[in-house]
């Protein structure tokens, strides 16, 4: 049986709320009292330094009772992952995040640790990189990672910040059409459109949708379907 423990957030900022404010209770419940230190991966940050990103996240985690250790500050990043009590991967640009994970040689070790039950928290790009690939990110490819293959902690794809909105007087493709294109090219995949404020919590063979909104599930050749927090999502783990 899988030992993986994952908390995958669509976003870190809800409109009208502070950084991670909407997820504080879920993060504390997920990590519990046994975890004291969280290893933070800031590699999705681009317009601010890793130190600045880590400082902002550290403040919020400190308020929750956890000490944050930035992986980029460790003398040996791989060993830091091996010793981590929990791992958090922040949002930003997914292509930049994945490239850095490869360059720092952290793909395999993060995957191994998560598979052994070390808690993994990701938001936005940090959730997308938990998927088999990053092909369902919304980000511009500002850099080229050596592969689109990511951590593969879940068997399905996530589209963070999913929205049904269509801008007025704007003829660009809506998100659903973009995901239809992805499924046309990748017909075996399943995509979870994770709306802002929503979280997927995975404990071994169980998965729950947290928050007040529904998630939209996309599969090739099928109409997209809405699933709420009280619906069973176990089928996603067998995608």
Which among 10, 12, 124, 127 is annotated as catalytic?
124
Q: Residue 1: pLDDT band by 50, 70, 90 thresholds?
A: low
pLDDT at 15: 87
Q: Residue 173: pLDDT band by 50, 70, 90 thresholds?
A: confident
Say whether 170 is catalytic. Answer: no
- Listed by start position, the domains of the chain span 5-238
Q: Residue 166: pLDDT band by 50, 70, 90 thresholds?
A: confident
Which among 22, 72, 96, 161 is annotated as catalytic?
161
Whole-model pTM: value is 0.96
Which among 139, 164, 223, 239 is annotated as catalytic?
139
Q: Mean pLDDT, to the nearest integer, of 1-19?
A: 92
pLDDT at 149: 98
For the cut 80, the answer to whether the pLDDT of residue 195 exceeds it is: yes
- Which CATH code for domain 5-238? 3.40.50.880
Say whether 76 is catalytic. Answer: no
For the cut 90, the answer to whether the pLDDT of residue 172 exceeds it is: no
For the cut 70, the answer to whether the pLDDT of residue 13 exceeds it is: yes
What is the crossing angle of helices 24-31 and 50-64, to 10°? 80
């Amino acid at each position: 049986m899988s030992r993986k423990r994952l908390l995958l957030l669509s976003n870190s900022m809800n409109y009208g709320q502070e950084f991670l404010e909407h997820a504080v209770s879920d993060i504390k419940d997920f990590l519990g009292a046994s975890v004291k230190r969280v290893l933070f991966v800031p590699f999705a940050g681009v317009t601010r330094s890793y130190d600045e990103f880590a400082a902002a996240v550290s403040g919020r985690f400190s308020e929750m009772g956890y000490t944050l250790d930035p992986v980029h500050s460790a003398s040996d990043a791989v060993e830091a992952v091996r010793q981590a009590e929990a791992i958090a991967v922040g949002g930003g640009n997914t292509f930049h995040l994945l490239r850095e994970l490869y360059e720092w040689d952290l793909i395999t070790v993060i995957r191994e640790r998560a598979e052994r039950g070390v808690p993994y928290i990701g938001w936005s790009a940090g959730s997308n990189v938990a998927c088999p690939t990053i092909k369902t990110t919304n980000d511009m490819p500002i850099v080229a990672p050596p592969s689109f293959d990511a951590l593969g902690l879940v068997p399905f794809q996530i589209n963070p910040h999913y929205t049904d909105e269509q801008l007025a007087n704007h003829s660009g493709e809506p998100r659903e059409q973009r995901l239809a294109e992805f499924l046309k090219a990748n017909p075996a995949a399943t995509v979870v459109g994770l709306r802002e404020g929503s979280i997927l919590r995975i404990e071994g063979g169980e998965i729950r949708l947290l928050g007040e909104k529904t998630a939209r599930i996309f599969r090739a050749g099928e109409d997209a379907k809405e699933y709420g927090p009280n619906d069973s999502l176990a089928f996603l783990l067998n995608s």
